[in-house]
Structures are given as C-alpha cells and as structure tokens.
Structure 1
C-alpha cells in the first residue's frame, strides 16, 4: 500500500498539461486496516508466533549462559584439551542462538514472511476498494497518507478514507450519508386585530375595530 515519493512524483509528471483538470485524493491505509477484522486476526496470529519464537530464543540463551557458568566454575581443573572443547561448545551454541534469532526475526525472516502472507489479503481488499472509489469519484490518483511519501499538509476535502471504508462495509453510520429530513412544521399565520379580537397591540391593550360613536348618527347634531 505504500507509495514512494519518486513514484508519485513521476505519476504527477506523466499527467502533463492536463494535471490541473485531474482530481486527486488521499486515504490513510493504516487507519483503514485497523478497522478490518481480518487485519486484527492477522495481528493476533503474528503476536502469538512472535511470543512463541521469543520464548524459544530465551530458552536457548539460558542454555548458553549455563554452559558459560559451568565452564567458568570448572575452568581451573580442566586440561587445555578440555577447555578447547568447552569453548567450542559455547561458541557453537552462541552461533546457533544468533542464527535462530535471525531466522525468525531478521530481515526477510519467518516473522517478516508470515506478516506478508497474512497481510496481503487485507491489503488486496483495501487496494480493490480504493480502485472502486477512484472510478466512482473519477480520481486520477489516490495517495496513501500512511505510505513513504511525506505529506506536509492534507486537505480534509480530498480525504477519501471513509469512502474506502464504505466500500469495505466498515463506514461509520454518520459519515458519507445524506442528511435526514426533519419533521415538517406548519407555520401559523400572524394574528391581527381582524382575525383575533383578543389580539394585543404593542401598547398591551386589545385593539378594537373602529365603530360609529353612539349619538352621532348621520344627519343628527349632538344635543
């Protein structure tokens, strides 16, 4: 899943003049794999193997220390021939311990090979999911934030990690989902003096519709 700096740079150069029109995105493969049950299972198996091999190495080291102590305690009574034999035994045991340790934990040792074997199916799933996201979102390139490339700044707008998790069926329910519509509320029309006799004006007193004053009938003068 890791992408070397020069590989990404070469890819950008190959895009040529149309680079500005291309869409790019990034993902965090470590974050994605950490959420995958298959990856967790692989790590448990690797930890179990590592613990077993480490115990075997510790047992061999104890045997080596025992040979050294015995030789040190008996050195004064041993002949030169016997000393040479004991020294050869200690040297051979020391070489065996180092060889076994290197075989299990060294570069391209058993742990390294087992990690590749167990992680490859997980990495393949992540790669396939990234490829699907790239096609759906029409991306020219997806960069792995957890890779060898040093990213000094990553704009969250171009983060497609959650979309990859969605392809793997591991996306959070509250991410990459359309917003839910709330209940429709009916807004009541404002009250006025014409619609509500009890309507209060700003003065705090009910507004009463204007009526003809008593004793002022048309054509009559007040007494």
Structure 2
C-alpha cells in the first residue's frame, strides 16, 4: 500500500512538472450502462446459482449421511462406524474439491466471468484510450478502482465522453 502511495506521489509530481492533462472516468458506471455487460452479469448470476444449488444438494446428502449414522450408531460395530465415517469424510473432501474447482481461484466461475466480461471491458478501455487521445490526456484514472479520490473536480470527469464514444451517451446531454 505504501508503494502505491509513493508511486502516485511521484506520478503527481511528474504531472505537475510537465503540466500534463489528466482526467478520470467511472468504469463501473459506464459498464452498468452497457446492455452487453448486464447480459453477461445475468449469465454469470444464472451459472453461479446453478452451481450453488449443486453444492447445496451435495452438502444436504452429506448431512443426511451424518444423520443416518447418528440414528443407527447404537446398532453399528466399531468397524462399521469407522467405514461410514470414512465414506462421509470422502464425500466431504469431494465436495470441497468441487467447490474449489467451481469457485476457487482460476475456477470455472472465475474463467466464465472473465470470458463473458473481458470483451465488454476491452470495449470500454478502447473507448477510454480514444477519449484520452482526442482530449490529449496524459493520464486517466478510474474512479471505480482502488485509488481513493477524496475530491474530484467535475471538469476532469470524462465518463460522459466515454459513454458517447460507446454510443451510450444521453443525446440531450451537452458535455463539450
């Protein structure tokens, strides 16, 4: 975190020395205005709910195995109880592996989200690049990113320019 602040302080000092133009854009706002992003999000939500239901079902089966074991425990020999516990443990391990495969780092959920959202993000970044070139901006910040902006002068907000570049701007809005 300290390195990030040092980087931005150095960046701002360079900007001040050379008087470069800068601006910011709210990519979350832009993305939420895009129909293809909303469709991607709906698809991701649908997939996620399906996978969560599968996991919930598998978890329910494991829980019922525990309940059966508790109900029959007095009738089981030590060896039978050990075998059942081993089977339950095996199912729990399989469930954890499945959860990791779906929702873990680089899991199916992550990959599908990347597949669906990246083309939309690339479209936004291309529009931002064009706006930067058209407006002769040296630096463009993302208001939606990790950089905390305590104060922003609205004249440096280029979100509407990016929306216009994507064909999503308000035709009644005059931003120039």
TM-score (norm 2): 0.91
Which residue in the other structure is 1:145 paired with? 143
Which residue in the other structure is 1:112 paired with? 110
In structure 2, list runs of 5 or more residues that go unmatched. none
Q: Deviations over 1:64-113 (max 9, x none)?
A: 01110111111111111111100001111111122212221223322122
Which residue in the other structure is 1:17 paired with? 17
**Matching of residues 120-159 of structure 1 within 5 Å:** 120-159=118-157
CA distance 1:5–1:129, shift in 2 (3 Å) = farther
Q: CA RMSD in A?
A: 1.8
CA distance 1:177–1:153, shift in 2 (3 Å) = closer
Distance 2:36 2:6 in 1: 31
Following superposition, the deviation at residue 177 of structure 1 comes to 5.7
Is 2:76 the counterpart of 1:50?
no
Distance 2:111 2:36 in 1: 17
SS at match of 1:26: strand
Which residue in the other structure is 1:186 paired with? none
Distance 1:47 1:85 in 2: 39
> Contact 1:64–1:93 at 8 Å: present in 2 too?
yes
CA distance 1:42–1:130, shift in 2 (3 Å) = same
**Matching of residues 55-70 of structure 1 within 5 Å:** 55-70=53-68
Following superposition, the deviation at residue 6 of structure 1 comes to 5.9
CA distance 1:83–1:42, shift in 2 (3 Å) = same
TM-score (norm 1): 0.72
- Structure with the bigger percentage of helix: 2
Which residue in the other structure is 1:188 paired with? none
Which residue in the other structure is 2:71 paired with? 73
Distance 2:155 2:107 in 1: 41
> Contact 1:5–1:149 at 8 Å: present in 2 too?
no
SS at match of 1:143: strand
Following superposition, the deviation at residue 15 of structure 1 comes to 4.6
Distance 1:162 1:177 in 2: 7
Which residue in the other structure is 2:27 paired with? 29
